[in-house]
Structure 1
């Protein structure tokens, strides 16, 4: 009996009648498993000479039978490469598919099945277990945070109680001093009271004696006796007590807090969690630096390819040309032209919403992490917001400058606005302003060492490392500034003339920018440090690309200044 693979989940029997051996082989022409001996017998038959017999695990997967809707008697067995739709043989002969290239749908289906089967083990054996390990680590971190914070609370209470004891001791000592001062003052007053009392007794005695002299019968005796006592002793001198005063301590809450301990929060940037590498991973064709180098090994397996595959094409109704695109969800996109029309469409090209805005053919709209639309009115210097669940459009931010480009961060909800202001007949100024997701001003990015960073910031986006990337058609360069608002680098293209327009970044940190140089436009891809990686060129060529955006699956959406067609490409290896 043929050997059975160790990883087999069940025994596949030979499809030949009365043969009970292991079906290690498979005939793609007959859709039948067979053992090696039956394979040899099978191929000896003249009618089977051209049959494709392969290892069972490499077999073509039989396509499910599906009837054509237009021709119910025909099976769907072809794939139109241009239209990316399944067809029957009768559909393929119609004029709408003239000169189109077709693929065997069964082969295409089988190749995709093999791709899926190759992906499943990595999901089950690597991605899910690794993610669960991360989840366990996060839970452990949560418990550690709780323990640390509870210990910190206890220390704060102990510190405060000790402070209270010191305050109580100081209060007791002050009260004792008050008692001593009071006792001393009362003793002095008691002594003065005794002196005055003795003086009053003396006066009363003198008063009686004088009265007795006046009542005496002999005048001579009165004169003789009284002459000795005519002088009255002076009133004794006494002093007023000087009472003490108390000056209350005047302490602010901050001064009291300074006497206690301090909570120190480490401002160091959190370290990325380590993710074990997928064993089948290979490194990228180009080494990346800085923060991008810290991305997971799984992400780094993908790199941009010079050739791209078009996976979808759709026509946007209501606009003539496509100057800017904003991904709403995986199934919706906002698109605008240079005439003030802003349209939401699904991936089948059905219009869902339409808004009339001011005329500007730049990146003036964006979609927030909550799927709310935000767009700028350059003429009235107002930024409007349209909530996903509401039809009304309401003013969100008012400015003194002209808002010409806008981007909503999906990291923290912050809103970046490229602005311009005319300062004279031929002079203007430009900057990028960051607002919170609630519309409050945070800060501006304006100059670097007294040098203006921007001239015409027509398109703006944010990279995974926090860099703000601006496509500036006035300076003819891509200006990149870090989170600290410091200029990192400027990219000036690969040709003598560089006309940057639409710009976006993907989940790997690539910066993707349109170079709309007349009919020879390209799409440039650079890394997080401004190093050129590649030009993207599709099989049918890229002409006058003006707008780009990437969804969360790294599908690249490209709009053109010459039509209302969006092409969707796969561009990563």
Structure 2
């Protein structure tokens, strides 16, 4: 704001021209000037000016100390008071006003033009910044959608290839079975044709002989005129009676093709092929005695993640929901969490109240606070996608993450609840056996980390044990129990528990042994156990693909 000091020099040598008060329009005792309004006042009008609510904080000085602003080139004249400059702006009326209009606008929202311009530009800049922030969110969302779309396209391409390969194998097996059946039918048909031809030739010969016998017997019967001749002919016919067999004795019944009413899924699965692991008598299948309750929720969708609070209430993530459901042990809904923006795929309890979780195709680790009402970001692991998450006994957050880029394919992070990374494990570290694609993980009080590794054609559970800062690993691939496809994982101080949705089983994996036992085998119910957690009381909670929650007490 440009200004000019009118008392530049010795004030005693300056002759101040007569001034007019802007309010009462008198020229007597006018010696005061308002710096904000750029108006002259007498003593009485100055007091009224400073008593007004909107002008009481203005700076009123003697005219000799006044700083006059440079007049704007676009001067506006008051439309009500002719010849008076409109120095103020009424936001209520959206028009220019002068100092004489102020009493009629005292209840309106008005200010000087300069003040309004400063505030207006500040508000416009804030709006622009808000729009710019929204634009960045759009760009981030679009980039995430592009990455998600690329991932989906890649997965669907692999799925199409697998389906075509499997269909080709099935077609080959079906064609082979068809050829075998047709060959058997042809062999039977040839045998029956040969047998029919032979029987037909024999019957024609016997029919010819029988016809001759009948003709001859008719002729001899006409010549029989005595009892001895009749007796002789009758004796002859009796002797020839056993020569001819009944044709019905040579008939054979055709075979019948028995067709099943329903498709045998086990036979179809066998056509696709399945990796079987050998078992010995030493490691026989063991079924634990458990008490399981099947709790049916009000949905048939997949339960992606489950977490039990200290008070017994359960946070549940359901496929397709952008929020978590808090339910009690009787499956009554208590509340919904805030919007999580994506499906929650893994979560763990943090300090008995909060929840840390990861979301589908997202690089961030989130934290749910305020009983589910507020969500904050713990860490952004980009370019890695955060998969499984757990919290160890030291309240450290463990996260397994994978990447589709040329960077290391995976990392396992150990961090604080504020996102400070304390340690990470990646390929090339001092390990006996590298991981391929970590999916879920859990930790025990003694420091071991159990990881579900979804390596191609070799899903397994790997245990990483920290001993003197060196990591040793061993893998469990289902020895002693046949084929496995591990998915969810949890643990307590005794063992590790693994879900297998494909085979509808839950396994117990002792920490010091690589031979697992079957905890629950309910193949007939087709529950599809997916996610699993263990609460502080040792009760195992399992979320299934069909909306069922299993409560297992050992």
TM-score, structure 1 length as denominator? Answer: 0.41
* Structure label with greater radius of gyration: 2
Normalising by the residue count of structure 2, what TM-score does the alignment of the two structures yield?
A: 0.43
